Amino acid sequence: MKLLLSTSVQLLIASQFLMESDASLRGRALSFFAENLASSSQSVEDERDDSDSMETRIIGGSVSKQGRYSYAVSLQDGIGHFCGGTLIARDVVLTAAHCQGGKYDVIIGRHDLESRDGESIAMDYEVPYPKYNDKTTDGDFNLVFLKNPTKEKVSLVNINFDSNSPSVGEEVYVMGWGDTTSDDYTQKLANKLMDVSVNVISNKDCDASQGQIGGWFDNYNNQISDNMLCARDNGEDACQGDSGGPLVIRGKDGSGADDVQVGIVSWGVGCANKNFPGVYSRISEAHEWIKREVCSKSQDPPASLCGGGESEPNPPSSDPSPPNPSPPSTGGSNGKWQTVLYENFDKGYGSFTRGGRHAKFYKSAKFRDGVIGIQNGKGPKSSFYSEDIRLDGKSDVKVTFSYMAISMEDNDSFCLDYSTDSGNKWNEVDCWSTSMSDFNNKIWQDDVSVTFSAKNADEVNIRFRCNGNSNKDDVLFDEIEVEAK
């Protein structure tokens, strides 16, 4: 839910903030102002984070060799370039979630934005990462599906699946068409694609970053999540204009065909400041989601991602002989839980369906946005259930959720069920009740988890149902995550 202020008040606050702070949003601290400073005549469809401070830039870099990063693309609206991205399928671009919104074109195969080289293709639709948090910029991933596949002779970038890559201290490269000066009061956008090398630092060291900037003290404390990675090199960085662009481990191919993308330009404090490294979205954390979305929705799914092979997480060795092919993927996950469904109900039932009239969606309830409520004890009518959830060879399932019980008495409970035949037969996983001291009424219970086995099942459905005895017996659900391994 957004706090709406008058345009004059927004302008006053924003101008004061910009004068007093060097907080640089590659999608973060200024997002509130960027979203709300649009004129009153601007449509919701056209609204997007388009303030200069929202964009990010390459500082201290140099013009890249034309065609070296042929997978790099420019997102452009009627004003011009506003974000970068990478081509991961002939019709799919990977960029930052804070770049989403409005109508725009994707420019492919253009090194110099002042030229007319390459191809311009309209965006068809976007699929932002379901766990993206626009307040913290956590999970800053967005997939852009194009109207049609590109015909340009460009390489696709490989996306990293190795959680151990890149390693601390490793050299990586970031590129973009953004601002080339670190002066917050001067903007000089690059016409040609710039690149710069930086070095990876640990998330622990990144989270400890603090210092003076522009006369103000700032820090990264408790802001660096597992979905992020950080890199720095004094005097060299990404900043305004580079949001959504790639952080890559370079290979040897002249067009970038063996480059591996490990991050997405996301946010930071200042630009090229010695106290504050650049923060990027960590590709390996969203690899399974990216693969699932691209391989199921692309008009031309890439064989390297969807055909059983995996992209190499590190640059090839100096041996000029071709690498051995990767073995076909078996769909396994090496024992690591991977998200197969996430729903926060911000826009309704989303991936779930109401079972009957005793289930209801609330835009907000009990101080939370996007809530599903079930009441009474009318079986399926007092329930809501998920769509088919693909397991892709996995058998163990974990469901994590947040809930609040209201007026539930000793004999009342709610239960979680699962089905492996699209809801024809349901199996009870667990039930929660006040008599078992599982909860107290009117208190949100967060991160409640339960696991079950669904061996030999291709898909699974889950269902929550209320076992109350009156319409006053309610259970509210705020968000649900389903993982599998």
Catalytic residues, which ones?
98, 140, 243
Could you give the CA distance from residue 349 to residue 479 in angstroms, rounded to a whole number? 11
**Which of 1, 287, 19, 32 has its CA nearest to residue 137?**
32
In the block, tokens 């699946």 appear at: 161
Contact status, residue 448 vs residue 400, Cβ threshold 8 Å: yes
Number of Cβ within a 10 Å radius of residue 333: 16
Helices (H), 398-478: none
CB distance 398 to 449 below 8 Å: yes
Q: Give CA–CA dist 362/346, Å, rounded.
A: 9
Compute CA distances 466 → 208, 334, 358, 379, 408, whole Å.
45, 36, 9, 7, 10
Helix (H) or strand (E) holding 84: strand 81-89
Q: Which two tokens stand for residue 124?
A: 């068809």
Rounded CA separation 468/377 (Å): 5
Tokens of 258: 């063996």
372 C-beta neighbours (distance < 10 Å), count: 25
Read off the tokens for 128: 């932002």
Give the strand pairing for 338-343 and 278-282. unpaired
For the chain, give percent helix, strand, coil, nearest 5.
Answer: 10, 40, 50
**Residues facing 396 on adjacent strands:** 453
Bridge-based pairing state of the strands 359-365 and 368-375:
antiparallel
Question: Which of helix, strand or coil describes residue 135?
Answer: coil
Pairing of strands 260-269, 158-159: parallel
Q: How far is CA 397 from CA 130, 340, 400, 478, 484, in A?
A: 19, 9, 10, 20, 4
The DSSP result for 457-482, as a single string, is -SEEEEEEEEE-SSTT-EEEEEEEEE
